[in-house]
Structure 1
Amino acid sequence: MTDLPSTPQQYHQRGNFNIGVISSQFVCIVDKISFKERPGTTFVAEIVSTPKNYQHVLSLAFAVKEINENPIILPNVSLGFHIFDSYTNAKITHQNTLKLLSVSEKIVPNFKCDKKMNMIAVIGGLDSEISFHMATILSIYKIPQISYSILAPIGDVRTQLPAFYRMVPNENYQFIGLVQLLKYFQWTWIGVIVSDNEIGEKFGQTVIPMLSHHGVCVGFHERTPSLSQVMEIVGSFETLQAKINSLTNPEIKVIVVNAEPQTTTWLKWFLYFYSMLENISENLLGKVWIMTAQWDFSAETMHRAFDIEPFCGTLSFAIHANEVVEFPEFLQRLHPGTETGNAFFRMFWEQAFNCLWASSHEDKNNCTGEEKLESLPATLFEMSMTDKSYSIYNAVHAIAHALDNMFKSKANRVMGNSRLCPPNVQPWQFHSFLKSISFNNSAGELVSFDENGELVAGFDIINWITFPNQSIVKVKVGSILPSQEFTLNKDAISWHRTFNQVLPIAQCNDNCHPGYRRKKKEGKPFCCYDCVPCADGKISNQKDMDDCFKCQEGQYPNQNKDQCLPKVLNFLSFSEPLGIMLAFLSLSFSLITASVLGIFIKHKDTPIVKANNRDLTYSLLICLLLCFLCTLLFIGLPQTLTCYLQQTAFGIIFLLAVSCVLAKTINVIVAFMANKPGSRMRNCLGKRLTNSILLCCSLIQIIIYAVWLSSNPPFPDFDLDSLAEEIIIECNEGSVTMFSCSLGYLLFLGIVCFVVAFLARKLPDTFNEAKLITFSMLVFCSVCLSFIPVYLSTKGKYLVAVEVVYILASGAGLLGCIFFPKCYIIIVKPELNSKDQLIRRK
């Protein structure tokens, strides 16, 4: 088979073992095959060069030189190489891969010609498509291929391409690092630019769901056109304007770019057209570009005049690389006169320095060979080893160490020296040694493959700083390791000048501050939301919380609803003004009652005391005294004993007081009826009637309290919900039914007493107490009825205060209405307190 029209650029250095290389320095558009004539390789346009990629070739040559000069690795064995270029074209890639298998003038499929060449492994290519085109041929011959493509060519590489290795980490680490980077800066509203091909589709399908899962929204997802679509888009103003509107959206400050060469080339052209259409400087665009590891800020020769300022502050991922100290010295020694047999070198020199070796062309200078590589801008060439070159450098050393291990293995020593001769080593024998390779390179870093044939390493995060003179500074600001450990030094990052070194904000809207929660906007992505205040009783203590939450028991939200405060205890204390006042009233009424009792005891033989049943009077005053004192049980921290005594003591004691009043009233009626001639009621008078009334009335209340205390007694309780900011410590009645029964019975007895006293108010008796009792019972019933609604509508210590006031008011009503008039007569009008006055009145 006659070879296709050749692409003459190649670089060949013979050795005992040769390494094949498919580089990617040039881009070209090849004429379509018409199938009407013999197929050829016809370039439609001028070849476009990327001078920076020539460093890939130089790093390989430098690594081979290092190995051949090292007496420890492969002693008495030399390495060589044979380099072709892919021209970023599938047909040429297949053609040049076949050329690596033969040095004859003809390409013979299914045969490996010129065994003296000893092709032990192949390195390439730069992207996944070129790598896959190479692998389809090399896998047939089981020749190891070490790629430095960031993306794997297919999903299950190890199964479908067992001879395929990658001197780069798994791309998933890069995607994880991208998510971590966005989360670190809280950038949740971004744009995504990918190429309009299978690579871009795969990137979108992998990364965008990861972003969504971690709360990052994609404001726009732009696909860059292929070369065949560029002119169509440029010619359509509406299409171009639509893309401009997306990429220049002022609300989107951060743009993630899957930095395939096609994508970055289109992006540079877009910025150029944008500045022309809007008549503004490209530098005013003001975006944070986040580039994937394919990006190395390289520029094709046709872009050498493009402004790089818009990319100042760019963050990019890069294959982890370390400095190889001797490499810059190697580059400085390069000279066109010494690079014989290297067809790439002269092309690189012309393209990089924009000159020609022998030309009368008016717009280009002649190349002198004295040009300095270090004078080139970083977009065209770098003196330090780039991450891609570092991968190639490691790939060469991996091949050399694997060969060295093969020769040193016990198995090969048994086979005899004749079997170790270079012509007898087959590439398929080489795989087991390459898979298990592990060594430290000259930069001191460990190089090894994982079970999938990928480099065990992580990605660096690089901050690109540009200057008006087209120079670039790369600053390593972070990394993502295979262990998924993410590190970032944000203080070392320089942002685009439009941000004035202030951290760019990439959010659909402002953060929801603590005290607010997020509420999704209808028709908008999930990270676009409104901020609404937390509902009563709930807080949010972090930014951008989806839901507010309740405080723990014993806590309440502060006014801003952004933190929980401990609730204070709420009970009626002796130390607070209200408690002091009520205690003072209780003691005052007790003292007054005791004074009245003392007055009555002192004047026990006076008619006004003797006429109204002296024993009942003493009993009533003692009950009122105890009733006033029992209010002290309601003040202070509730305890089990005080809770038992509060309702029990008051209920029974006050019931005895009301029973005494009822007994006094009934005694007045019976005494009046006994004075009638022939009445038998005279036999009912005396202590027997009084005791019967007291016993009957008290027995019912005692039964109620006995059932109450035995079934569901009162107990100290903590009410956490009634008051927002306080914990109410109260005596829980236990049984509301029994409490209602005791209160109801007390009210019923008071009403009975009021009715009886009302009926007896006009009986002709000088010291008839019926009117006084009527007024006292009226006061008691009024207080009792007004107490019920107030009691039901009050909480906390004020509820206890209401109970105390109720007891004091009820007792004071009895004390004041019944005893104060009598005390007035005894003390102020003693002349009315005489037997003569009593007889005269009768």
Structure 2
Amino acid sequence: MIYDYTTKPGPPRCTGSFNARDLRFSRTMIYAIEEINNSTELLPELKLGYQIFDSCGSVPMAMHVAFQLANGQDSVFYKGSNCSQSGVVMGAVGDSGSTPSMGMLRIIGSFNIPLVSHFATCACLSDKQQFPTFFRTIPSDHYQADALAKMVKHFGWTWIGAIHSDSDYGINGMASFLDAALREGICVEYIESYFRTDPRSKILRVADVIRRSTAIVVVAFTASGDMRALLEELALDPPPPRQWIGSEGWVTDPYLMSFSFCAGAIGVAIQKSVIPGLRDFLLDLSPSEAAASPLLSEFWEDAFNCSLTKSSDQENKECDGTEDIQKLSSPYTETSQLRITNMVYKAVYAIAHAIHNAVCHETNITTKCQKNIKLESKQVFSELKKVNFSRNGYHVSFDPNGDPVAFYELVNWQKSENGVTKLAKVGYYDASLPKGQQFNIDQNITWLDGSTEVPVSVCSESCPPGTRKVLQKGKPICCYDCIPCPKGEISNMTDSPDCFPCPREFWPNSKKDDCLPKPVEFLSFDEVLSIILAAFSISGACLAIITALIFFHHRTTPIVRANNSELSFLLLFSLTLCFLCSLTFIGAPSEWSCMLRHTAFGITFVLCISCVLGKTIVVLMAFKATLPGSNTMKWFGPLQQRMTVISFTFIQVIICIIWLVVSPPFPVKNLTTYKEKITLECALGSAVGFWAVLGYIGLLAVFCFVLAVLARKLPDNFNEAKMITFSMLIFCAVWITFIPAYVSSPGKFTVAVEIFAILASSFGLILCIFAPKCFIILFQPDKNTKKHLMNKN
């Protein structure tokens, strides 16, 4: 409207389409007042009067109405001795919108006139410092926002779009929803606001955002009129299938259900209720009664597309009285889903109970009311805070903020067989229940496109167990990549932000979603490597025994007698033990096996080397004894030879005893070499003891090698020193190579290297020292003579 400031502006007027739904609300108020006036229990012998104003959902009109209520200048409907002469308004029911209600409260609140709203849900109205006289029978948007966020979370939607009315209802409601959504871990792709009176270009821009978005779910916190403007724009070019989530402001509006692309919408709604007799009252309307009221006339003419008054306007025909409101399909006559209507009904009864409590008192028999009392609005305001009653099974009371107990039905737009969209209850939200039990789905839901499968609306697919979430740079927390857990770590839940390591003796399975006991590894007898080594070990022992049998059978021959048969048999016995001691290294380590394998190995090898050393000394002494005037053999006879072997072996026994007493080898679980498995092995205990045993063997071997080298060129036709030299050369080479191989070999292969060194050195000794002799004994007996042995070339 444009003012030229030359004439007085006229009063504000309503424009736009007629809202039959709000007419039903006002007619419900009339029905409730008439019901109260006919009651013998509530305000007996007193009558309530009323005036109805149309605010048009407009703040200026609402302010105009508020001034009228506060001034008390309007005529009183009931006149006579039974009516209060004050003309002052005791209370008001309305407005349907939060922003118009705020404007009214700024004015009438100063006069302590209470306003009980049936549809103003903005949580900001619960602020008693700003709006002390405000009450409502509909729950605050604080609870609605929480219910919507829990609904979105319940169905696993983490990527949504959000639109809201550019009004106090939409702005505050969406702010509450976004706070609740943030707590639930929900991300919002876009937030758009608009108002139904905005230019079409702005509404078109909002529609295009919905069409282009990747979010399947759209949460709309709008008033019914605003949603109508958007859906009409979207209907011109329907978007891809979207799952609409609606606030109670529009989700129960019958007109909006005609938009087929919104089928499957789900939202929160005020509890469905029954008001006995209301439908008959609403339908008890004739053309003459409609013509008596400007508001009803507008409804009648809009509903039947005719005119109740004769007019030169030929667009609409004149109503002829055949119009049947019983057959009319309109939001006014739709009483199968009474929800907000019941809030109006309860608001009227709340004010009536407050007035009753202020002017009436109970006696033993009846209720007495003071008819001529000058009632003030502040008394009604005071009594409203304390009202507590039930009507038609629905409880009415207010908390300190003027709010009722929050209870919502969860409703779903479901298409019937004839293609008509109907509202179906699928669950509820009850804020009075304990946390975790407030939200409940108890019926099947029909989703977008008529599907029974819950649609998926996520920025990123859920990360399965075995992976962790890594946020994408510059995007909301719901947009992430799934990274497999690193080696040795697992995640056992969906969308895990972190992976965590398994306990020391556990390792992840192949999917990295569970920790399993690590497999235990050791050189067991059923492994191929162990079988091969054991076969060589037994073969070596058998070879030594066979050699001993050959020597025993030919013990009287020169070649056996010439090579010190006593030391030879002792050497073969020690070699047999050397071959067999390698078997102690196979199998699961235990305390006894760990101590036995190292000490047995150390002692048997020293016994073996001592015998070889004794044979080497005998060779040298024998050569010296052949020189004229020499009697050296008497200083190294059989007794001395035995004592030499025993002495050298005894030293090793002492070293082993000290090692076992101070810090013996013990079984240990090696968790460091292989992270994915446990290696059972024998810890050395004292490393000094282990290397002392090896060092002593090495010292004897080097000493024996040096003596053998010195004796290798003695002029015997069959010089045993040459064979001893080769055997010691092999022995030393094997054990020198063993040291780096032993240190660097992982896990069970350390044991395998040690067994290989034992077998290799043992085979080197038996083959170099005894193989040539056995060959002569068995295949060249002609050389097994004293003459041949004594022949010096």
Report TM bin, short chain: 0.7 to 0.9
Matched, 1:611 2:562: yes
Q: Report the AA paired with residue 151 of structure 2.
A: L
- 91, 97, 118: which is aligned to 2:66? 97
CA contact (8 A) 1:309 1:468 kept: no
CA contact (8 A) 2:145 2:173 kept: no
Name the CA distance, whole Å, in 2 between partners of 1:431 and 1:619: 119
Matched, 1:190 2:160: yes
Deviation at 1:262, TM superposition (A): 5.7
Matched, 1:145 2:115: yes
Instruction: Show the counterpart of 1:621.
Output: 572
CA contact (8 A) 1:611 1:767 kept: no
Instruction: Show the counterpart of 1:15.
Output: none
Instruction: Show the counterpart of 1:259.
Output: 222
Sort the Cα spacing of 1:203 and 1:694 in 2 relative to 1 into closer, same or farther, 3 A: farther
Name the CA distance, whole Å, in 2 between partners of 1:196 and 1:730: 75
Instruction: Show the counterpart of 2:384.
Output: 434
Q: Report the AA paired with residue 764 of structure 1.
A: P
- 377, 384, 387: which is aligned to 2:336? 384
Report the secondary structure of 2:469's partner residue: strand
CA contact (8 A) 2:522 2:679 kept: yes
Report the secondary structure of 2:268's partner residue: strand
Name the CA distance, whole Å, in 2 between partners of 1:670 and 1:422: 150
Sort the Cα spacing of 1:201 and 1:118 in 2 relative to 1 into closer, same or farther, 3 A: closer
Name the CA distance, whole Å, in 2 between partners of 1:230 and 1:162: 36
1:667-704 Cα offsets, whole Å, 9 max, x none, are 32233234434557445413565466546654664565
> How do 1:505-584 residues align onto structure 2 when only pairs under 5 Å count?
505-584=456-535
1:307-353 Cα offsets, whole Å, 9 max, x none, are 61222222222223334455444434444555797553332233334
Matched, 1:646 2:622: no
Deviation at 1:456, TM superposition (A): 0.9
Matched, 1:181 2:130: no
1:246-293 Cα offsets, whole Å, 9 max, x none, are 221152322111213463144134325xx2xxxx5x3x5422121222
Name the CA distance, whole Å, in 1 between partners of 2:89 and 2:6: 36
> How do 1:43-122 residues align onto structure 2 when only pairs under 5 Å count?
43=13, 46-69=15-38, 71-101=40-70, 104-105=73-74, 115-117=85-87, 119-122=89-92
Aligned residues: 782
Instruction: Show the counterpart of 1:288.
Output: 243
1:476-533 Cα offsets, whole Å, 9 max, x none, are 2232221453545487222232x75543322234444444443333343332333444
Sort the Cα spacing of 1:463 and 1:516 in 2 relative to 1 into closer, same or farther, 3 A: same
Name the CA distance, whole Å, in 1 between partners of 2:240 and 2:424: 22
Name the CA distance, whole Å, in 1 between partners of 2:48 and 2:566: 130
Instruction: Show the counterpart of 1:455.
Output: 404
Deviation at 1:473, TM superposition (A): 0.5
Specify every segment of 5 or more residues in structure 1 that has no aligned partner in the other structure, as ranges: 1-30, 108-112, 235-239
Name the CA distance, whole Å, in 1 between partners of 2:590 and 2:510: 33
CA contact (8 A) 1:612 1:767 kept: no
Report the secondary structure of 2:110's partner residue: coil
Report the secondary structure of 1:316's partner residue: strand
> How do 1:17-28 residues align onto structure 2 when only pairs under 5 Å count?
none
Name the CA distance, whole Å, in 2 between partners of 1:253 and 1:604: 99
Instruction: Show the counterpart of 1:480.
Output: 429
CA contact (8 A) 1:59 1:385 kept: no
Name the CA distance, whole Å, in 1 between partners of 2:634 and 2:67: 141
Name the CA distance, whole Å, in 1 between partners of 2:548 and 2:85: 134
CA contact (8 A) 2:123 2:141 kept: no
CA contact (8 A) 1:150 1:171 kept: no
Matched, 1:718 2:698: no
CA contact (8 A) 2:41 2:367 kept: no
Matched residues, percent identical?
35
Matched, 1:757 2:708: yes
Name the CA distance, whole Å, in 1 between partners of 2:375 and 2:776: 138
Name the CA distance, whole Å, in 2 between partners of 1:324 and 1:803: 95
Instruction: Show the counterpart of 1:162.
Output: 132
CA contact (8 A) 1:255 1:290 kept: yes
Deviation at 1:643, TM superposition (A): 1.8
- 231, 245, 248: which is aligned to 1:268? 231
> How do 1:603-752 residues align onto structure 2 when only pairs under 5 Å count?
603-677=554-628, 681-682=632-633, 684-686=635-637, 689-690=640-641, 693-694=644-645, 697-698=648-649, 701-702=652-653, 705-706=656-657, 708-723=659-674, 725-736=676-687, 738-752=689-703
Instruction: Show the counterpart of 2:540.
Output: 589
Sort the Cα spacing of 1:83 and 1:450 in 2 relative to 1 into closer, same or farther, 3 A: same
CA RMSD, Structure 1 to Structure 2 (Å): 3.9
* TM-score, structure 2 as length reference: 0.86
* TM-score, structure 1 as length reference: 0.82
Sort the Cα spacing of 1:90 and 1:589 in 2 relative to 1 into closer, same or farther, 3 A: same
Structure 1, 359-368 or 312-321: larger mean CA deviation: 359-368
Sort the Cα spacing of 1:121 and 1:738 in 2 relative to 1 into closer, same or farther, 3 A: farther
Sort the Cα spacing of 1:835 and 1:233 in 2 relative to 1 into closer, same or farther, 3 A: closer
Deviation at 1:809, TM superposition (A): 2.5
Name the CA distance, whole Å, in 2 between partners of 1:337 and 1:468: 39
> How do 1:310-325 residues align onto structure 2 when only pairs under 5 Å count?
310-324=261-275
Name the CA distance, whole Å, in 1 between partners of 2:166 and 2:15: 24
Name the CA distance, whole Å, in 1 between partners of 2:698 and 2:570: 20
Name the CA distance, whole Å, in 2 between partners of 1:588 and 1:450: 96
CA contact (8 A) 1:125 1:149 kept: yes
1:175-205 Cα offsets, whole Å, 9 max, x none, are 2222222223322222211234555443454
Q: Report the AA paired with residue 199 of structure 2.
A: V
1:20-39 Cα offsets, whole Å, 9 max, x none, are xxxxxxxxxxx366766545
Report the secondary structure of 1:143's partner residue: coil
Sort the Cα spacing of 1:77 and 1:616 in 2 relative to 1 into closer, same or farther, 3 A: farther
Specify every segment of 5 or more residues in structure 2 that has no aligned partner in the other structure, as ranges: 77-82
Name the CA distance, whole Å, in 2 between partners of 1:294 and 1:83: 22
Q: Report the AA paired with residue 729 of structure 1.
A: L
Report the secondary structure of 1:772's partner residue: helix
Name the CA distance, whole Å, in 2 between partners of 1:342 and 1:423: 32
Q: Report the AA paired with residue 218 of structure 2.
A: I
CA contact (8 A) 2:559 2:784 kept: yes
Name the CA distance, whole Å, in 1 between partners of 2:50 and 2:422: 33
Name the CA distance, whole Å, in 1 between partners of 2:319 and 2:741: 105
CA contact (8 A) 2:742 2:753 kept: yes
CA contact (8 A) 1:122 1:143 kept: yes
CA contact (8 A) 1:514 1:561 kept: yes
Name the CA distance, whole Å, in 2 between partners of 1:268 and 1:99: 36
CA contact (8 A) 1:308 1:466 kept: no
Instruction: Show the counterpart of 1:21.
Output: none
Instruction: Show the counterpart of 2:211.
Output: 248
Report the secondary structure of 2:92's partner residue: strand
Deviation at 1:230, TM superposition (A): 0.9
Deviation at 1:72, TM superposition (A): 4.5
1:583-613 Cα offsets, whole Å, 9 max, x none, are 4443343333333334444544544334333
Sort the Cα spacing of 1:810 and 1:371 in 2 relative to 1 into closer, same or farther, 3 A: farther
Report the secondary structure of 1:654's partner residue: helix
Name the CA distance, whole Å, in 2 between partners of 1:335 and 1:717: 100
> How do 1:338-487 residues align onto structure 2 when only pairs under 5 Å count?
343-360=294-311, 361-367=313-319, 371=323, 375-377=327-329, 382-402=334-354, 420-421=370-371, 423-431=373-381, 433-442=383-392, 444-465=393-414, 471-482=420-431, 483=433, 484=435, 485-487=437-439
Name the CA distance, whole Å, in 2 between partners of 1:427 and 1:36: 40
CA contact (8 A) 1:320 1:457 kept: no
